[in-house]
Structure 1
Amino acid sequence: MQKFYSLLFFLLIFSISPAQNKFGNPEVDPLQIQKTYEQWSVYQNKKIMLSRDFTALDVASKEISKEVFLDQLANGNFIPIRLKSDEGVYYYKLYKIQPKTDTSIKATINQIGFDAYKNFKMEGTAFPQFSFKDLNGNLVTNESMKGKIIVIKCWYIHCTPCIREFPQVNKLVENYKDRKDIVFMSLAEDSPEQLKTFLARKPLSYSVIPDMKEYMNNALQLNSFPTHFIINKEGIISKVLPNFESLEVALAKESKL
């Protein structure tokens, strides 16, 4: 009888363990990372890339849709933690924010969750109609860009994060210079005169469209910068991204399709 109970206990543990460890363990202690805002901010900036493709898990490690996950971050009381996995594979799990956690952490998560949710909902929709003229007088429209992948950077000259990534996006243009089916253009809030003066000191390899504040506010409803769009060859928004790191990964994937 004792052997029977030992075997039963073993089978019970065996049946439970795989479900608990199916997606791996958190790469940081979910409680410890909430101790200070500085700790969380550093982790979030380096590890939490909500615009990328990932498997989303709720607090019980049950797989949920990305849309539900982002909605919980925007409106709930959760932090996202990445689970240990191979490089390039992303599992994010929700953990409860503790009662004594700095309220700045929750406010920041709600904001990035809101932005990521809004961006996610734009993916799969048609990019708004446009007829742009760049600083060199070239006209680009939805019709003229058919059959091309369009990479768009939205920015303005006083946006420090926007300018900081200039060397990286310039290198990206260089990497894809032989791809005639990929076009890089940027929408800037500023006037042609302001942009020409600024770009003489800080070159940008994208074509630059001036006076785009109203278009970005109304047609794209942007509230954070930089924002990057990847538009597929059918004119559909493939990805909306908040930084170069996510853009680089997404474009590599889109360019292979």
Structure 2
Amino acid sequence: MKSNTIISQSMQKFISLIILLLFFTISTAQNRFGNPEVDTNQIQKNFSDWSNYQGKNIMLSRDFTALDLQSKEISKESFLDQLANGNCIPIRLKSEDSKYYYQLFEIEAGSDTSIKATINQIGFDALKNYKMEGTPFPKFLFKDLNGKLVSNESMKGKIIVIKCWYIHCTPCIREFPQVNRLAEEYKNRKDIVFMSLAEDAPEKLKLFLARRPLAYSVIPNMKVYMNEALQLNSFPTHFILNKEGMIAKVLPNFESLEVALRKVSEM
């Protein structure tokens, strides 16, 4: 009996050790990239909290390490596809380095239904933009408000920054001071061109820009081109074209534009 008791106690210790090792292994795997910077359950309680977090902390157009529900590294395309078509929210992880780590977490059953619908749309737009990167920018021959003609051929050998907008787009107008500062920052770079495509007619644009100046050249009557050639459904949208006329980045706001242009201009 004593021998059996000793064996039983040894077995219990062995099982306990295995459990501890498994727990340590799982914890290490989960924490290898860092822990969530917010409570993943609490952030889903209401749409306002999630929307504020998403807007300030998640930029899907930037370069980031993408992680799935099991904390495994996946491609950015797969990550965006799951946001567009799945039941996930992206959360940034705390990390000791300067890199960005975004992980997918399942949307809880009791969460505001608007969260899922909005994430699916954000994911769809981000995935579409991502797939455009590395492809040629559609052929163009534009005339700006000053009568200057620009085309794919005339812009060869230059980095082109393009802002797509229209007069009644509040987010588009709100970032005017920021994009103007960006254009000023690069004004001595003769190999960088700032150009904007606007939906509106020349007369309306001239009246509007007299009150709200834009430091980009402005191409009027671009609604059809933006809808059909670029297939845009979100404004503002920014493009950065490299010197070969390929789309280097497609971006939804100034914050991601500033970082991306710095990288492209240093290549």
Which band: TM-score by shorter chain?
Answer: over 0.9
1:135 matched to 2:166 = no
* Bigger radius of gyration: 2
Partner of residue 153, structure 1: 163
The residue identity in structure 2 corresponding to 1:151 is V
Unaligned residue ranges in structure 1 (runs of 5+): none
Q: In the superposition, relative to structure 1, how do residues 122 and 108 fare at CA in structure 2: closer, same or farther (>3 Å)?
A: same
Partner of residue 144, structure 1: 154
Partner of residue 57, structure 1: 67
Partner of residue 178, structure 1: 188
The residue identity in structure 1 corresponding to 2:154 is S
Identity of aligned residues (%): 77
What value does the CA root-mean-square deviation take over the aligned residues? 1.7
Which SS does the other structure have where 2:78 is aligned?
Answer: helix
Partner of residue 211, structure 2: 201
Which SS does the other structure have where 1:235 is aligned?
Answer: coil
| In structure 2, distance between residues paired with 1:100 and 1:158 | 36
Partner of residue 235, structure 2: 225
Q: In the superposition, relative to structure 1, how do residues 40 and 8 fare at CA in structure 2: closer, same or farther (>3 Å)?
A: closer
Partner of residue 220, structure 2: 210
1:86 CA displacement: 4.7
1:145 CA displacement: 0.4
The residue identity in structure 1 corresponding to 2:43 is I
1:178 CA displacement: 1.0
Aligned length: 257
| In structure 2, distance between residues paired with 1:248 and 1:88 | 17
Find 2:199's aligned residue among 189, 195, 198: 189
Partner of residue 246, structure 1: 256
The residue identity in structure 1 corresponding to 2:186 is Y
| In structure 1, distance between residues paired with 2:18 and 2:118 | 47
Find 2:88's aligned residue among 78, 82, 102: 78
The residue identity in structure 2 corresponding to 1:36 is N
1:17 CA displacement: 4.0
1:137 CA displacement: 0.6
| In structure 2, distance between residues paired with 1:220 and 1:4 | 63
Q: In the superposition, relative to structure 1, how do residues 75 and 132 fare at CA in structure 2: closer, same or farther (>3 Å)?
A: same
1:21 CA displacement: 1.3
Partner of residue 38, structure 1: 48
Unaligned residue ranges in structure 2 (runs of 5+): 1-10
| In structure 2, distance between residues paired with 1:2 and 1:154 | 67
